[in-house]
Amino acid sequence: MFWRKSLDHIKTNKWVFLFFIVLFVVGIITFKDYGISADEEMQRRHTFVNYYEYLKIFPIEKSTIQNSEYYYTIQFYDFCVNNYPYKYYGVGIQLPITILEHFNGFRFSSNTIYNIRHFYTFLIYFIAMIYFYLILNRYILKNKNFSLIGTIFLVISPKIYGDAFYNIKDLMFMSLCIINCYYCMRFLEDSKLKNIIKLSIITAFTMNSRIIGALIIFLCFIFSLLLNKKNVKNILFKLLLVLIFTYIFYFIMTPPMWYNPIKYPFEVIKFFNHYVDPIPKSGFVSLYFGKYVPANNLPWHYLPVFIIISTPILYILLFLIGFIDNIKKLLNKKIISSINLLFINTILFIVLLLCIIVKPTLYGGWRHAYFIYPMIIVNSIIGLRWLLKKINKFRILINIIIILNILIVINWMIKNHPYQSNYFSMPFRKYAIENFDNNYWKLANSDALEYIAKIDNRDTISVKSEYNGASLNKLNYIDKKRIIVDYIIIKDWNELDDYDYFIDTNIHGNDKLKEDYREIKVKKMDGIRLYTIYKHK
């Protein structure tokens, strides 16, 4: 009933409705434009291995399963997910895509299936944006205009939006966390059985996606107890129901847990506390202030710095205003009246504190912490509301600045589509390009391979490239068969084998390659060299 009322509110508010229509249409038009990251291929494999466990239970036609390119994986691991080294990666939210593949007999082309995965990732993100608006309007701001502006801030965030199509891990987790927070607030408001079940389902999905998602429900429990001191027995019973239902749903969507129902959740926590790839390929390092630092031993300021330099500067300034205002209210005990805002900021504060003190393994910028970004935006919109209230004389000027900022960022996003994830904020851009991780996903490598396939019609083409195996899936069937990619990361440029082409993602290019190869194509965006194609002389 509440969800229907919320949707009715969106439909009756023409600006809110128009915003979401535009967002959805843009997603529909552009989801095929994005390249394929290595993580997508791995996630698809993880999902297939987990899915096979369900086929052991249900009387479903299994013969077509052998059409899957990952059938060899389950054979190699003796048809058992418990033997799979990546069993701790939860893929419950991705299972519908594999089911769709199965219904089609695993006959989709690689390009088609990854387009489907991109659309699916965007669809969950789109739904999460609706939930984010509802959180702001119903529980935080209670003002449709500010709630819409806050949602626009979240969408017009290049680093986040760019990942909203292909980052089925980090962005999917962020989307689930938004929905999870919404149902936590629903539960804090009304702990009826239907809200308990809804909260349990989304909590299970969130924890399955990333175990750190358990923090949200843990804090929900704490806040529930604080709000129900006079009725402790009743709320404890309801919290017990949430715990039981969550465990059941989590168990159902996590096949590796079936082999060890008690120990598995603790093993997941231990595994990801200080992550080490179970099948090591290379040491994870991050370029940070011009130096390569190990991903498992980062300086305490790594996360705050990366957030600041890759978020539109106006959002950061507004965040500081909003966060300071919230601290003042907390000290004066005024923020207690806004329990949901306190709930959001408690999650944000704990995650930042954990990253600073515990120093978990992070790499690829701050993508592992994207799930706290909506909480940053909540504070940004609080800051904007405070600014407009306190400096009323300059209200028009402030509105003009906000609109100009949004238009400038939108223009950047359009100009650099589909590589928005390489965004750095204007004040830091020139320095950050040279001294911080960028182009992590190597999405443009798909474009490089398509270019090579177009200019070279030989039956067999050998290509050396960094982190590029998944990019082949963007090619048609014939080109995918004739291009052979060696995508092991090159560390010693003094020992080069003879390949037909090199795809180099070094931002400066590579002089050593020029001894045996000639540069034939360079692709850049906003000063970042996405790739250089070298052809053997």
Question: What was the pLDDT predicted at 8?
Answer: 65
Question: What was the pLDDT predicted at 281?
Answer: 47
Q: Return the number of other C-beta atoms located less than 10 Å from residue 307's C-beta.
A: 21
Q: Return the axis-axis angle of helices 193-209 and 170-189, rounded to nearest 10°.
A: 160
**Residue 534 has what DSSP assignment?**
E
Distance CA(476)–CA(394), nearest Å, equals 56
Q: Return the structure tokens found at 146.
A: 């500010």
How do residues 362-397 score in pLDDT, each as one tens digit?
Answer: 888 899 999 999 999 999 999 999 999 988 888 899
- Does residue 160 carry a pLDDT above 70? yes
Higher confidence at residue 524 or residue 334?
Answer: 524
Distance CA(179)–CA(203), nearest Å, equals 9
When pLDDT is averaged across residues 280-294 and rounded to a whole number, the result is: 76
Higher confidence at residue 342 or residue 271?
Answer: 342
Question: What was the pLDDT predicted at 296?
Answer: 79
How do residues 66-125 score in pLDDT, each as one tens digit?
Answer: 889 899 999 999 999 999 999 999 999 999 999 999 999 999 999 999 999 999 999 999
Rounded-to-10 torsion of CA 257, 261, 262, 268: 0
pLDDT band for 245, please (50, 70, 90 cuts). Answer: very high
Distance CA(249)–CA(238), nearest Å, equals 16
Question: What was the pLDDT predicted at 441?
Answer: 87
For CA atoms 284, 36, 289, 356, the dihedral sign is negative
Distance CA(302)–CA(287), nearest Å, equals 11
Q: Contact 208/264 with Cβ under 8 angstroms?
A: no
Q: How far apart are the first and last CA of the chain?
A: 68
Question: What was the pLDDT predicted at 279?
Answer: 52
Bridge partners, residue 522, by sequence: 532
